Amino acid sequence: MFLFATLKFVPHKKRAANKKTKTKNTMPQQIVNQLETALGETITLLSGFDEKDLNTVPFEGSWTAAQVGRHLFKSQDGIDTLLAAATPAADRAPDARAEEFKKIFLDFSTKMKSPDFILPENKEFDKERLIQSLTDTKEKMVEAVQENDLTGIALLPDAHPLKGSTKLEIVYFVTYHTMRHNHQIKKIREVV
């Protein structure tokens, strides 16, 4: 199943662009905490592997733990810039799709297929560099979440699977997507 196949995307009307606010946003602190915890857990989990096990395929058809980390990096890199951009206002609750994302990504009984643009390369990864890239991305993303108005529609290309989502929904997506892959890393750890 294609990763985003079960998501329903509905175009939304655009209103005047939101400007970045100088005050911290008022989004629910729970999702900020969940995001920070999930991103930190990825780093902790990957740090627990030695270089060899990090790059060991646990079973046929699976990614290595390093490839999961690289996939997460590719899916998260640049989100901070997306969250800081001025965007059109949403004509609905900014977290309307949060439960949909949670239901999809935290259902560990379903298999999903990643879009090509965030597939990890088929190679061995340097543990230190991988963890540093995830740490840097985490710091930038958490700061962007805390410092920006996330109620507007995220500016994404027309073909992007999350087109029409608010910036807050992108935060929910990243959180649940990361939690799903943390579960996967734990399963890999049991095998290698």
Tokens 């989004």 label which residue? 27
pLDDT tens-digit profile, the chain (192 residues): 333 433 433 333 333 344 444 334 456 789 999 999 999 999 999 999 999 999 999 999 999 999 999 999 999 999 999 999 999 999 999 999 999 999 999 999 999 999 999 999 999 999 999 999 999 999 999 999 999 999 999 999 998 899 999 999 999 999 999 999 999 999 999 999
Kindly list the distances between the CA atom of residue 93 and the CA atoms of 45, 89, 100, 146, in Å, as whole numbers in the listed order: 34, 10, 14, 19
Q: Are 36 and 142 in contact (CB under 8 A)?
A: yes
Q: Which residue, among 76, 92, 64, 111, has the nearest Cα to 166 in the 3D structure?
A: 92
Q: Which residue, among 53, 41, 15, 56, has the nearest Cα to 152 in the 3D structure?
A: 15
- From the CB of residue 163, how many other CB atoms can be counted at a distance below 10 Å? 15
If DSSP states are collapsed to H, E and C, what string results for 99-146? HHHHHHHCCCCCCCECCHHHCCCCCCCCHHHHHHHHHHHHHHHHHHHH
Q: What is the pLDDT of residue 28?
A: 75
What global pTM score does this model have? 0.86
